[in-house]
Amino acid sequence: MSDIDSIKNSIIEQINSADNAKTLDDVRVAALGKKGQITELLKTLGSMPLEERIAFGKQINVVKAELEAKIAEKKQALEIQLLNEKLKKEVVDVTLPCRPEIQGRLHPVSKVYEEIVAIFAQMGFEVAEGPDIEDQFHNFNALNMPPNHPARQMQDTFYINNDVNNAFDMDSAYVVRTHTSGVQIRTMEKKQPPIRIIAPGRTYRSDYDATHTPMFHQVEGLVIDKKTTMADLKGCLYDFMKAFFEVDELPIRFRPSYFPFTEPSAEVDIGCLKTKTDLIIGAGTDWLEVLGCGMVHPNVLRAGGIDPDEYQGFAFGAGIDRLAMLKYGIPDLRTFFESDVRWIKNYGFTPLDFSAMTSGLSNNGGLAR
């Protein structure tokens, strides 16, 4: 018995004196490994009488459990000590200014977002926001999209189950919003005309290629008044396009189109010149589609609680990411989300490069690459 106690005390002393993980593991192997001291004692049980074997085996198992607990405790203490030493060495003084070579950059989407807000703020628009997770009424029904509408198909829309029994129910399911149009409905529900808002934000659709991503950014506009006309819509978008692309002579055309939430509807094209290597926004022989628009459908006004016999309005929508690609010559939409430092260094903007109508929106000299 005294031999076991002396062995245990010796091993505990070695455990306490271990100053790193490797030394501690060497002590563990020497004590509890296949050829360790405790293991060798267990091997002697077979040659003992039954009563002595039971008593001796019980004693060895108690010592073994105690040593294992001591080793685990010491290991945890060494890990905490190592972590504290590492934190001391890696401490960063956050009060120091960052070095110029690692200065952060403003993402092109954030820059274009600021530019759009600056332009429409000067026109008297307010910025409205809404939830990313929408119910189907605000995302589809109120926008004149019946249950069988193609835009509601599951291969295009991310649905979220809302059934307590985990049985998917299409009627009660929520959606990750496919556009920011739901913000228009929520604004109409809360506010009486006149209404003049833009609704920028993230939107989500099941698509992924060079010009589409599952998550992208969109801005929509809504104007409702008693005397709003298609001419007001055209003038608003014409002024926006000239200010955004910073091109004085910008050809713009409106092509008839179809959207369930507007009638009449149109798609807006801007003039450009396409070559093998460049896309120049402005006078040219080519056209490029940039956004959709139209007069708000009477059914949408009714869904928002507004009388279409008394009020009318117009709405428009554009992809912020696409506008950034066109203005700043970015060829692939997927690179927007890859967190490549080299990419943001090339296409990003300095943090103090504010967007304002008085000082100029950007530093691209009025030429979209």
pLDDT at residue 61 in the model: 85
Angle, CA 213 vertex, CA 344 and CA 143 arms, to 5°: 125
Paired with 254 in beta bridges are 268
| Per-residue confidence (pLDDT) for residue 340, from 0 to 100 | 86
Orientation of helix 230-245 relative to helix 320-328, angle to 10°:
50
pTM for the full model? 0.67
DSSP-based three-state secondary structure for 292: strand
Give the pLDDT of residue 36.
Answer: 83
Strand partners, 102: none
**In the beta sheet, which residues pair with residue 106?**
349
pLDDT of residue 367: 35
pLDDT means per 10 residues, the chain with 369 residues, are 76 88 88 84 80 81 87 91 87 71 80 93 94 91 82 72 67 86 94 94 80 85 95 95 89 93 94 84 86 96 95 95 90 85 87 66 46
At residue 155, the pLDDT reads: 57
Give pLDDT, residue 259: 92
Helices 50-89 and 2-17 meet at what angle, rounded to 10? 10
- With beta carbons less than 8 A apart as the criterion, state whether 109 and 203 touch: no
